[in-house]
Structures are given as structure tokens and as C-alpha cells.
Amino acid sequence: MAKLFIPPAYKSHLNLKQTEHAIKTVKDHFQTALSAELRLRRVTAPLFVMKGTGINDDLNGIERPVAFPIKEFNDQQAEVVHSLAKWKRMMLADYEIEQGYGLYTDMNAIRPDEELSNIHSLYVDQWDWERHISKEEYNIDFLKHIVTKIYEVMKRTEFIVFERYPDIKPILPEEITFIHAQDLLDQYPGLTPKEREDAIAKKHKAVFLIGIGNKLSHGEKHDGRAPDYDDWSTATAEGYHGLNGDILVWNPILERSFEISSMGIRVSPEALTKQLAIEGCPNAKNYCFTNAC
């Protein structure tokens, strides 16, 4: 826990009981508002999936899942999920979710390779959602449209908390700022990716950082993204690449950026083939659902 930081003289505005109530308030209001804003239906998520099925999310492709044998399945290995990126896409088809609608779930996971800090734990409890979009919506403008909707839900949730706990003042700005990872690099060429995120979040307070996963002008990625996750290779109208990104807000207590959401438009068959080739998968054209390169 070397990266755990407790500010000097820090004291919570709420006691333990109030904190639990506040967490429930946030979760109850946010899921209801998000569901209404994005037209999402609630589904129940799995805690684990079978190894080798290709359903578990690879994250950056290097994290190790927690695995265990199942006696009734002749000790076949199951894996605790990292996230539900692929499972959700399957569920859109299984539930026959109509275009313009989607699903959401309260996902729990274990990530043993997580770098522990104030904002990262071995245990994950997060909202996961997926929406059925049209080919015409496969663009950066639609992505920004959805991000703006999510941000409005965040602001409404913040206000609900303020109404119930007046000592917790709203701090989110009126609008979220959009910036591409290349523009961020151009602004802060001497900083590391995390330092760049801190700098831009401190300046604008709420930011959607576009283009996570592809190499930038200096030959390095801002951060990793599995090639079969979302689309980080398609060119945008601005001439950059990436139909994905992270929602970042400034945390004044920790004095650093805080990642609220990692999201993006999912890979098309063309983007998947391209991104597998970029990542050096020798069998990119014949990539199958078992993730075998």
C-alpha cells in the first residue's frame, strides 16, 4: 500500500453510519438516473466465467485473473471476471435489446494485479453498461453525446448528496471538457501520462480524455487498452485516432485526477482486425472468440 495517501488533518464530514447511507444514496440514485438517461435495462451479472471461453475481459492483456477449479465440471477452471465488456455484448444479443436501448448491471470483480492506492483496490464494485447503437452512431460525436448524458447524471447525483449532506459541497463544473490524448501530450510534453491527467483535471475539473490505446506522436500510448475491447484506432474528424476515452474529475482532497469511467464505442470487425494487427497478433485475420492469437 505504498501509494495510499491520507492528507494531513483529514477528517470525514460523515460518520461510519452516515457514510454507508450516503453510499446507498449515490448507488440508488445514480443507477436510476443512468438507466433513464441512456434507456438501460437492469440485468444480473456473473461473478465468474469459464476459462477459455473468451468471455472474460483482458483489460490491458497482461493482468492475471483469479482462477479456481469446479468439481462438478471435472475440475475445469473458472475465472473471476475482470470486467464484463465481452459478456455485455453477448447479453445485448441474448436479450434481443433493441437499437437505442441497452443494459446495465452492478458488477463485482477481483483484480489481483491491481496497483493498490486510494482509488484502486483488489475488489471492484462498479456499474457496467452497454447500449445497442446504429452504424450511423459509430462516430466521435455520438460518443461525446453519451459522455455528456453521463456527466449530467453525475451532476444530478452530486446535488442529491448535497441536499442530504449539506457539508459536502458540489464541486463539478457546469460542463465537461473534451480533449484528445495527443493534444494533452502537446500541452504537457515533459510530463508522464498520469501527470498529464492530473494537470488537465486540475485545470478543467472534469475532462473526457479521448484516444486511449493507440500510439501518440512520440511513439508511446497514453495507456493500454485490449485490442478486442473498444475502438482506439479509427480516425476522428479532428485527424486523431480513437472512439474511446476516460472520464476524469479533479479530486481536491487527494489533489489528483480521479477516473470515473473507462468507456468507448466497441470494436467493429474491421477495427478488431486492425487493432489485433497493430498489437502484433500473428493470426489477426482469423481471430476467434476464444482469444487465441
Q: Is 126 a catalytic residue?
A: yes
> Residues 236-249: pLDDT tens digits?
877 889 999 999 99
Least confident interval from 44-53, 74-83, 117-126, 269-278:
117-126
Q: Check 37, 114, 183, 259 and give the catalytic one.
A: 259
pLDDT category of residue 116 using cuts at 50, 70 and 90: confident
Q: Is 259 a catalytic residue?
A: yes
Q: Is 83 a catalytic residue?
A: no
| Domains of the chain with CATH codes | 16-286 (3.30.930.10)
Asked if pLDDT for residue 285 goes beyond 70, the answer is no
Residues in the chain: 293
Q: How far apart are CA 230 and CA 265, in angstroms?
A: 6
Residue where the block lists cell 501527470: 195
User: pTM of the prediction?
Assistant: 0.89
Q: Is 257 a catalytic residue?
A: no
Output DSSP code: residue 135: G
Contacts of 146 (CB under 8 A, 6+ apart): 38, 131, 263
Contacts of 273 (CB under 8 A, 6+ apart): 284, 285, 287
